[in-house]
């Protein structure tokens, strides 16, 4: 998600502490994000016992949005999901004896990265929108305190910054797989996605530089690049994918570079 691509008129936000115990941490967060602690605002980042939550302000605003790997949909998918039979697992090349090293360069709220980490893949996440990165960092920290989920999030390393800059300046061993899920105007129509998009899109805009990100990813990845798209969306401009895996609402465009084989 790219703050540079956000609309010219951005909503105004502030940070709130849900009680005196959170005041110091809220002040530090506000300073790091360049947000106020008081005053008129369109949204609020509220820090409290449940974690850090994004809340729109106004009579028709949806409920708060926070990153939660311990409950709800993420917990259900962790406990009842399809394991390595999931389409995302096939897209990144997971198979018997193969758990590729993955760079998720458009981390967002971290859901896909969490699935991949649960399946045993080490995942580096890059999120360039500071507010979204703060939500994700908070969710990872809370999950790290849970004995069942801690081993999963231990395989997830978050970096905040511009993905293209980080990829082009990469100095470590290249990731085997780079995973991209650019923001796109037409997303799945579930109530969860509608809520998230209504809250996040005014802050982050669309990823109009997705072609440049794809080109950078293809230059770095050692084995493949995977791009998640809405099922009927066009491919990202540039090099065409080698093949695609298509589901009911999403598809994965796959750019193979080398075969993934068991070590």
Which residue blocks in 43-123 are alpha helix, DSSP H?
A: 72-80, 87-92, 111-118
The answer to whether 42 is annotated as binding is no
Distance CA 222, CA 259 (A): 10
Bridging pattern class, strands 156-160 and 224-230: unpaired
The answer to whether 162 is annotated as binding is no
The answer to whether 229 is annotated as binding is no
Check if the beta carbon of residue 207 is closer than 8 Å to that of residue 106: yes
Check if the beta carbon of residue 43 is closer than 8 Å to that of residue 199: yes
The answer to whether 155 is annotated as binding is no
Distance of CA 110 to the CA centre of its chain: 4
The answer to whether 146 is annotated as binding is no
Q: Which residues, listed in sequence order, are joined to residue 227 by a DSSP beta bridge?
A: 180, 253
Binding-site residues, please?
A: 111-112, 127-128, 181
Residue list for the binding site for S-adenosyl-L-methionine:
111-112, 127-128, 181
């Amino acid at each position: 998600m790219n703050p540079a691509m956000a609309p010219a008129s951005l909503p105004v936000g502030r940070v709130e502490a849900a009680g005196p115990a959170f005041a110091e941490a809220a002040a530090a967060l506000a300073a790091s994000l360049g947000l106020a602690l008081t005053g008129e605002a369109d949204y609020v980042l509220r820090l409290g016992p449940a974690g850090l939550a994004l809340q729109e302000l106004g009579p028709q605003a949806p409920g708060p949005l926070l990153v939660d790997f311990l409950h709800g949909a993420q917990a259900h998918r962790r406990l009842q999901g399809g394991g390595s039979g999931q389409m995302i697992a096939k897209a990144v090349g997971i198979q018997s004896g193969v758990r590729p090293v993955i760079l998720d360069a458009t981390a967002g709220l971290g859901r896909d990265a969490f699935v991949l980490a649960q399946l045993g893949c080490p995942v580096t996440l890059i999120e360039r929108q500071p507010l979204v990165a703060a939500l994700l960092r908070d969710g990872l920290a809370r999950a790290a305190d849970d004995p069942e989920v801690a081993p999963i999030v231990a395989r997830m390393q978050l970096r905040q910054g511009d993905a293209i800059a980080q990829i082009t300046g990469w100095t470590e061993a290249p990731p085997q797989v780079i995973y991209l899920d650019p923001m796109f105007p037409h997303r799945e129509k579930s109530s969860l996605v509608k809520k998230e998009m209504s809250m996040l899109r005014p802050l982050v805009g669309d990823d109009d530089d997705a072609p440049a990100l794809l080109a950078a990813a293809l230059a770095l990845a050692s084995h493949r690049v995977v791009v998640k798209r809405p099922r009927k969306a066009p491919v990202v401009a540039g090099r065409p994918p080698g093949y695609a895996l298509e589901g009911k609402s999403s598809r994965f465009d796959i750019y193979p570079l080398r075969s993934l084989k068991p070590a």
